Amino acid sequence: MRLRCALLVLVTLLDACSRSKPPPAADRARDAGATATATATGSAATPTDRPAPGAADAGASVMSTAALPTSGAATLEPTGGTIAIAGATLSVPAGALSAPVAMTVSSKPPSLDPLAALVEPEYLERLRAEITPLRLIELGPDGQTFAHPATVTLEIRADELPPGKTLADVAAVVISKDGAVDDVPVTVVGNRLSIEVPHYSMLLTAVAVGAMALVGGMAILLRGSADPMMRRDCAKWLNPASPRVQELAADAERFKIDAATGEIHLDLGRPAVGRDVKVGAHALPADKVIEHPEGDCVNFSTMYGSLLLARGYPVRLVAGTAEYRRGQKTYKGFHQWAETVVDGKPYYVDTFDPDHTRLVPMAEATRDLSLGRNRMCGKNPDGSTVGPAKYDPSWFDKLVTDSAALVARYKELQEEARAQQALCAGGSDAACNLRHQIYVEAMELRRKLNAMGVDPTK
């Protein structure tokens, strides 16, 4: 089985969600008995004997909320209650609150803008081209937690979906003000989505319209980083000092690097197997992956990065997007990989198929795999660490001594500068700023090449 990481075979998005059972919160809300209901005008909650709309069984008749205002507020009691606004209903089950809480629900124009503070501008633009947001619901107070998950029910018409997509293709995430982005369960109930919400924040539902697909949920794609890459101590996952890593790296028969062919031979006693893992399993130390060589791109980039460091090579873990083609199939979406410099040349460490890992020249990988880099963290052989931070495309320039690799990098920068110039001419200030940064980097690289007696313009 190939390592799919976030590069699933295309067609549907989060197919498993459409097969999931009704969320527990819906069952609890249905059994809660009399609930409090508030209209979008913010009037006092009043008892009602009808079930919460978010808890309706599939096929049941539920009153439409389309005619209601787009925001609402009410104080909900420990006995539970609902707040209904246009196209959405919040249902809080009995026992979810320990005391009365003033709550708000507001529908915002669907957008990926809440991600702007979480990911780099270039990465966000890639997402905008691939992801169609359907609903953006702001829930307040931010950070409010529930003893039992609340449920938000959304009404979505078929004509709101991109061509070829159904409600089964829709994913949902909650975006907290502290920067956390988490997946939440989605159940299709007729023409409605029933979404389990463990805490209050921004609730975003979206569907992929391009080739982008994912593993582990929409959250990992939207934030552009796996969990370890979001942590301040990200570099600790690169652990060349681990006894198991040291032992393997020192064995020239079990761990071989052939920079001439790009082949990496690693004998772990059994084949490395790529498989999807739960989000928590991303944060596995390298020695655990060596002991049980199964996992996704996050696990294997960490393991190979640690082994390369133990051999004395600098390593950067990079999170972003990539596109692989295998025969008639395309795998595209979130990916994490390692980058390194071997014998003066920069390389992409290709762990897409973890049992056939290889070094790919950086410029070649960037072009052929359509790499979109978002964040990075890393470590140098002297133990110094980098990041987590925005990806720095010049991180290896001072380490590279191969003139051909530097010339390839210079030409890559020239292409990037021309692309940003076109956007700058169209009025994009961000593109103008990026063009300037690329120009400065290209000039520094040209000076380095000139000092080596090489003219990159020829």
The answer to the question of residue 3 being in a domain is: no
The answer to the question of residue 11 being in a domain is: no
For residue 298, give the CATH number of its domain. Answer: 3.10.620
- pLDDT of res. 6: 27
Token pair of 92 as six digits: 């809080």
182/285 same-domain check: no
Half-sphere exposure of residue 26: CA atoms within 13 angstroms, side-chain side: 22
- pLDDT of res. 91: 94
* Predicted confidence (pLDDT) per residue in 296-352, tens digit: 888 899 999 999 999 999 999 998 888 887 777 777 777 889 999 998 888 999 887
- Residue-range definition of the domain harbouring residue 20: 16-223
Q: How far apart are CA 300 and CA 207, in angstroms?
A: 28
Q: How far apart are CA 136 and CA 206, in angstroms?
A: 9
437: enclosing H helix or E strand: helix 429-451
384/243 same-domain check: yes
Last residue of a domain, one of 352, 370, 395: 395
Dmax over CA atoms of the chain, in Å, equals 84
235/339 same-domain check: yes
* Predicted confidence (pLDDT) per residue in 200-233, tens digit: 778 888 776 554 444 445 766 676 667 666 667 7
- pLDDT of res. 2: 33
Last residue of a domain, one of 380, 395, 410: 395
110/185 same-domain check: yes
- pLDDT of res. 405: 73
- pLDDT of res. 216: 47
438/377 same-domain check: no
Q: What is the CA 420 to chain-centroid distance, rounded? A: 25
Q: Higher model confidence: residue 11 or residue 135?
A: 135
Half-sphere exposure of residue 442: CA atoms within 13 angstroms, side-chain side: 19
Tracing tokens 């939207």 back to the chain, one arrives at 222
Average pLDDT over residues 405-419: 80
90: closest CA among 105, 108, 102? 105
* Predicted confidence (pLDDT) per residue in 45-68, tens digit: 333 333 333 333 333 334 455 578
Confidence of residue 280 (pLDDT cuts 50, 70, 90): low
Average pLDDT over residues 372-382: 89
242/219 same-domain check: no
251/126 same-domain check: no
Q: Higher model confidence: residue 135 or residue 417?
A: 135
Rg of the chain, C-alpha, whole Å? 25
Edge-to-edge strand order for the sheet containing 88-92? 46-48, 35-38, 81-85, 88-92, 145-155, 192-199, 186-189
Confidence of residue 11 (pLDDT cuts 50, 70, 90): very low
Phi, psi for 83 (deg, rounded to 5): -130, 120
For residue 74, give the CATH number of its domain. Answer: 2.60.220.30
174/117 same-domain check: yes
Q: How far apart are CA 452 and CA 442, in angstroms?
A: 15
Average pLDDT over residues 262-284: 76
Q: What is the CA 458 to chain-centroid distance, rounded? A: 40
275/201 same-domain check: no
Q: How far apart are CA 206 and CA 16, in angstroms?
A: 16
Q: How far apart are CA 379 and CA 335, in angstroms?
A: 19
298: enclosing H helix or E strand: helix 297-310
Q: How far apart are CA 113 and CA 116, in angstroms?
A: 5
Q: Tally the domains of the chain.
A: 3
Confidence of residue 384 (pLDDT cuts 50, 70, 90): very high
136/234 same-domain check: no
Three-state DSSP class for 352? coil
Token pair of 393 as six digits: 């495309």
- pLDDT of res. 18: 25
101/143 same-domain check: yes
Average pLDDT over residues 378-401: 85
Please state whether the predicted TM-score (pTM) of the whole model is above 0.75.
Answer: no
Q: Which amino acid is at 426?
A: G
Asked whether the beta carbons of 317 and 238 are under 8 A apart, the reply is yes
204/284 same-domain check: no
- pLDDT of res. 43: 33
